[in-house]
Structure 1
Amino acid sequence: MRDTVRELSYAQAINEAMALAMEADSRVFVMGEDIGVYGGAFQVTGDLVHRFGAERVIDTPIAELGGAGVAVGAALTGMRPIYEFQFSDFATLAMEQIVNQAAKIRFMLGGAVSVPLVMRFPAGSGTGAAAQHSQSLEAWLGHVPGLKVVQPATPHDAKGLLLAAIADPDPVMIFEHKLLYKMKGEVPEGHYTVPIGKARVCRQGEDVTIVATAIMVHKALAAAEALREDGISVEVVDLRSIRPLDRDTLVASVAKTGRLVCVYEGVKTLGIGAEISALIAESEAFDYLDAPIVRLGGAECPIPYNPELEKAVVPQVPDIVAAVRSLAARER
């Protein structure tokens, strides 16, 4: 019998995934700043403290390095911690534990131990939170061997990827775009997982491939619908996983369409679009390209506070439409 599918918000889907995991496994616990009675900075943890108690939903001091160290240590002892950062920007305060400890301990001890740790990062712009609370740093952590990095774009994937991450023996970093928390979508009841490292073709097309991440998936889909009126058929690929990348899906899509646009919110330089472009250039899909690869990433500046400037420094639907139109008009 198939599980019932309901409509939940992205935040509700994450909350449900944590509750299911905590009910099924006493080793799973949640920790972070203001996640207890307050319910988290974005109200994602919600009522978990009332359901599971303060010993499993732990409010931590404002000390990300210390909190991350506790999470790494707990994972090494066999627990399965979920550590919530208030903002993804605060990963910078915990990089020693994330990059030098969590990512490397399995390698340094010859596989004798694992670090089954999940870290959740509310990320991205659009809330008026300015330069120190609006960054997209997934490419930073995606650069580090030993870490897995995912970016769910839908409530369905937010739940399924989190459940997959909790079950994973290695540290998984989950970047949750803040503007997606209220977005609703179909989410099955019960336990299911979305495989880490597998992209999703969420719109079939013939002329141009757009590979997008997080909220940019939805902007790409809106752009694809607008471009349909121009007679341009756009395939949209939701990357879902930054590390590992789904090479096969990317190569197959670009080989089919012959054109590629990479759309992501992180700063363009050395961003995820550069890695995708290199992957295609080094693959058999290169011979099918009919035009240069295009990257649409964030501007080379901190995120402004002003709402109009904030919109201007990250790709928007008209930017994607213009880039695809220009690319579709180019001949080999």
Structure 2
Amino acid sequence: MTKYRAGVIGHTGRGNYGHNLDTVYLGMEEIDLAAVADADPEGLAAAGERLNVDSKHCYQDYRQMLEQERLDVVSVAPRWLDQKHDMVIAAAGSGVRGIFCEKPFAPTLTQADAMIAACERAGAKIAVSHQGRVGQIAHKTREMLADGAVGEVREVYSGGKQDHRGGGQDLMVLGTHSLDMLCFLFGHPRWVQAYVLQDGRDAGPDDARQGDEEIGPILGNHLEATYAFDNGIMANFHSHRRAVRPGPRPGGLEIHGTEGILLQRDGYLLHCPHPNWNPALVLPAIEAGTRLP
């Protein structure tokens, strides 16, 4: 079996290690988790212990780790956006084969383009942690759509968590999962239109503010967007700030077709074999923890 040397870049107190982009390698026989970098000394010591990395392979400077460790794969794990540009470009330049990057990817399109270009020049693959598209629910949804479970898809409804981050920040931090799922299921949109509101009125330049976690400027606490896909499929994304979140989570995905509805929500997939929603007809297509053959 080919073994790959992996390293992790985190930053305790400034995005930490994202959603387990460090421990993801534990238990993978083909991966030797060789090194970790964290500018915070206490966070570095904790990461070394958590990841079973010897202290001599723990670095406060990620550039030193990249230079000395000759890695194949690197996780750029912090959630915060202010440092990812430099981390990704340094990783690509070090000769790694693959980079696993926490989302959000970049605060600006200019930085995103530079990061992608650096990887292309180096021949390195980069993946953003939109892991929803590799999960069983995503693949079961696509399988059921291909088998005609809802007939011809007509409308799709999607949204973020719509908590205190509702609006621009929800789209940037959490809505990317929803948008990536739309692309996974239906391809890339042909056109997009959207509007942004602040407290019920059109948002303007004076409403821009700096988001949390160095996310950069964001706008609005309510947004609605429409995405047009091939075959007449129209998808809507919505997010607005709520004082009280309704139900377990208002995000997820609803796919409405001529013969039925599919509903992705909080780790499960429901199928209504009728174009009008009827709870009496709903069946679980797949539940959390179910393994597909």
Question: What is the TM-score normalised by the length of structure 2?
Answer: 0.37
Question: What is the TM-score normalised by the length of structure 1?
Answer: 0.34
Between structures 1 and 2, the one with greater helix share: 1
Between structures 1 and 2, the one with greater strand share: 2
